[in-house]
Every structure is written in structure tokens, then in C-alpha cells.
Structure 1
Amino acid sequence: MGTYGDQARRALLDSAEELFATFGVDAVSNRRIAEHAGNANHSAVNYHFGSRDALVRATMMRYSDDAHRRRRELIEMLGPEPDLRDLLSCLVVPLTDQLASLPVPSWRARFLRQLRTVPSMIETVAASTTTDRDIAELIERARASVADLPETVISGRSWLLGHMVIDACAEYEERVDREHVEPDWTGFAYFLVDACAGMLAAPVTSAGDFLSSRAESTWA
């Protein structure tokens, strides 16, 4: 069960994730988060997390250890010569498995989508990706598998894929909530991996440098 402090902290994280997902990170006050969590102390966010930025970061990173373990399991299952879909599965499936483990309605994917609207969090999100050695290695191996394409195209498509995965998961999470359908995150993961592989390896008709400078900011 954990201590009362652990329970209060978890309730604040749940509350923040739902409210941030619904209204946006900058539109929700610490007081509203505490009240939604059932906490009568309006300073609870600062008490348990130290600051609002720390709460946002804690909400972002709360499942990172589980995702890392799942990704490590998938990597260890790879054959000696994994194809592009295998590598992309290691990037996508830890997220969809995480979403599948949450109660319905969940707010996780919609919260991650909202994070992109907060300028102060963009660098933090990018750092959480680039400092994870498994993610960095998977990205490099995926890029190497399409090395015959122009580098600007690979970088631009990588940026698009990072946005596409989060946006698609958020849309599906919202649909499950709105229409009360039984979620199939495993099937959705296969759909996403197929779409990502198709986009990354698609033929090139324009090799312009449109998005390559943005590619390091999002890919997970």
C-alpha cells in the first residue's frame, strides 16, 4: 500500500496527468491539482515535489523504469539481423504496453501530447530520449537500415515519426474513452510499427532539408 506520503504523491501525479491531458500543462494551477486529488492542502504540490516544474517532470518520468525494462526485454529477443520493423517495435511497444497496463480511462498519451506545447519541457523530453542508451542505439540502427536515403530525409522523417506515434496513441486513447470500446493496444502497436516502417523507408521524391534541424527533439 505504501505510506500516506506515497499515496498522496501518487494521487497528485494521477490528478496532474489527467488535468494536464485535458486542459494543457499551463492552464492548470497547483491548487486545482491538489483539490482534484482530494488533498485539502493547497500547497501539496510544493510539499511533495518541491516545485511545479518538478511535478511536471515527475509526471513525465513516472513510468520510465517500466518502459526501460520492457525495451530491454524486447532488445534481448532480437535476432542477429533484425529488420526495420523489429527495431521500431522495440521503440513503440514499450509505450503501447504501458498504455495497455493503465485503467480506462487513461490520460497518459494525451498528457505526453500536451507536453509538446510547453517550451520549457521540450529540452527535457529530448534529453530523456537521447540519454537512454537503448533508445539511442535503436534509433541509430533504424537509421542505418535506410542509410541509402539522404540524411536530411532520414532526419526529417524521424522527427515526423516521433510526433506521429504520440499523436496516434493520444487519439486512440481518447477514442477508447469516448466510445467505451475495448482497447487493443497490441494490435494498435502493430499498426503503428507498420506505418512507421512504411514512412521511414518510403521512396524519396524530394530530398529537401525541411525538418532535419528538428530531428533531435522528438523520437520515441
Structure 2
Amino acid sequence: MGTYGDQVRQALLDSAEELFVTFGVDAVSNRRIAEHAGNSNHSAVSYHFGSREDLVRATLLRYTEDAGARRRELVGMLGPEPGLRDLLSCLVVPFTDQLASMSVPSWRARFIQQLRTVPSMVATVAANAISDPVVDDLIQRVRAHVSDLPDSVYTGRSWLLGRLVVDACADYEARLAREDLEPDWTGFANFLIDACAGMLEAPVTSEGDFLSARGASVWA
């Protein structure tokens, strides 16, 4: 169940995520986050998280352990010679499963999407990126499946895939909130995996170094 302090922190994180998505990270004050969480102490955010950057970091990383555990579980289920889709599943499904576990409306995918596009938050996201050896290994195994791709093409497509997964999940999350639909995150995950595999295996007609300077990564 958690302590009262844990419950307060959770409520503040929920409030911050929703308000950041609705109004923008830079437009929401700590006081407004506390009020939206039903907390009469307007300094609650500072008390529980410290700085504004610490709040954003806590919101960004709040599900990291759960996603990591799910990914390790999926990797443990792989056969001796997994195919490209099997490896991509281990990268995509922990995120879509996380979204599936949330009530509608959820804000998670749209929050991550926003952090990657708000200039004031880009440095915060980069500074708090956590290296996961399981993810690193999966990415290397994915690369081995498309070893014929030139490095610049693979890096550029990886950059596109990272945006595709987050942006598509954010769009689907918003649609579920807007329309009376039964969520199907499992089906959506399979749709994304198909799209990712198709992009990686697509023919190469141009080998220009178009996106590698952007620091592309499949699951950053």
C-alpha cells in the first residue's frame, strides 16, 4: 500500500504528468500541481522532490524498474535463435504493457513525447537517460539481423523508430481518451513491431548520413 508520504508523491506525479501534457511543462507551476493533486500545501512539490528538474526526473523515471523487469522476462522467453520481430518485441512490449496497465485516460506516452520536443527539457532527458545492458544487448542483436545496412542508414532508421514508437503510442493514448474505444495495446504493439521490422528491412536507395548527427537511438 505504501506510506502516506508515498501516496502523496504518487498523487503529485500523477498530477504533474496530466498537467504537463495538458498545458505544457513550462506553463505549469509547482503550486498548480499540488492543488490539482488535492494538496493544500503549495510547497508540497518542493518538499517531496526538491527542484523542478528533480520532479521532472522522477516523473520520467517512475516506471523504469517495472519496464526493466518486464523486458528481462521477455528476453528470458526468447528461443535460441530469435527472429527480428522477437527481438523488437522485447523492446516495444514493455512500454505498451505499461500503458495497458493504466486507466483511461492515461498521460504517459504523451508526457514522454512532450519531453522529447520541449527545448527546456531536452537536456534533462539526456542527462537522466539510464543505460540498460539488456536494451544495449537487444539493440546489438537487432543490428546483427540487418547487418547489410550501412551504418548511417541504420542510425537514421533507428532515430525514426524511436520517434515512431513514442509518437504512435501518444496518438493512440490520446484517441483512447477522446473516443469510447476498448483499448487493445497488445494488437497495437504487434502493429508497431511489424512497422519497425518493415522499416529496418526496407531496401536502401540512399546511403546519405542524414540523421546520425542527431544522436539517434531506437529506444532513447
The answer for the alignment partner of 1:70 in structure 2 is 70
State the shift of 1:43 in Å: 0.9
On the 8 A contact 1:110/1:170 being kept in 2, the answer is yes
Counterpart amino acid of 2:33? I
Per-residue CA distance 1:48-77 (angstroms, 9 max, x = gap): 001111110100111111100000000011
The answer for the alignment partner of 1:181 in structure 2 is 181
Gaps of 5+ in 2: none
State the shift of 1:2 in Å: 2.2
State the shift of 1:42 in Å: 1.0
Give the stretch that moved more between structures: 21-30 or 6-15: 21-30
**SS in structure 1 opposite 2:58?**
helix
CA separation in 2, counterparts of 1:30 and 1:111? Answer: 17
Change (3 A) 1:18 1:2: same
Change (3 A) 1:115 1:35: same
Give the stretch that moved more between structures: 210-219 or 189-198: 210-219
Per-residue CA distance 1:85-135 (angstroms, 9 max, x = gap): 111100000000000000111110010101112345435545665611111
On the 8 A contact 2:155/2:217 being kept in 1, the answer is no
- TM-score, L = length of structure 1: 0.95
Q: Does 1:85 align with 2:88?
A: no
The answer for the alignment partner of 1:53 in structure 2 is 53
CA separation in 2, counterparts of 1:71 and 1:133? Answer: 11
Give the stretch that moved more between structures: 155-164 or 117-126: 117-126
Counterpart amino acid of 1:46? S
On the 8 A contact 1:34/1:42 being kept in 2, the answer is yes
On the 8 A contact 1:110/1:173 being kept in 2, the answer is yes
Q: Does 1:109 align with 2:106?
A: no
State the shift of 1:219 in Å: 2.1
The answer for the alignment partner of 1:210 in structure 2 is 210
The answer for the alignment partner of 1:27 in structure 2 is 27
Q: Does 1:10 align with 2:10?
A: yes
- TM-score, L = length of structure 2: 0.95
On the 8 A contact 1:156/1:215 being kept in 2, the answer is no
Counterpart amino acid of 2:184? D
The answer for the alignment partner of 2:195 in structure 1 is 195
On the 8 A contact 2:53/2:124 being kept in 1, the answer is no
On the 8 A contact 1:19/1:28 being kept in 2, the answer is yes
On the 8 A contact 1:22/1:110 being kept in 2, the answer is no
The answer for the alignment partner of 2:143 in structure 1 is 143
CA separation in 2, counterparts of 1:45 and 1:88? Answer: 37
State the shift of 1:6 in Å: 1.2
**SS in structure 1 opposite 2:99?**
helix
Gaps of 5+ in 1: none
Counterpart amino acid of 1:62? R
In the alignment of these two chains, the number of paired residues is 220
State the shift of 1:218 in Å: 5.7
State the shift of 1:201 in Å: 1.2
Indicate the percent of aligned positions where both proteins have the same amino acid. 74
Q: How does 1:126-165 map to 2 (within 5 A)?
A: 126=126, 131-165=131-165
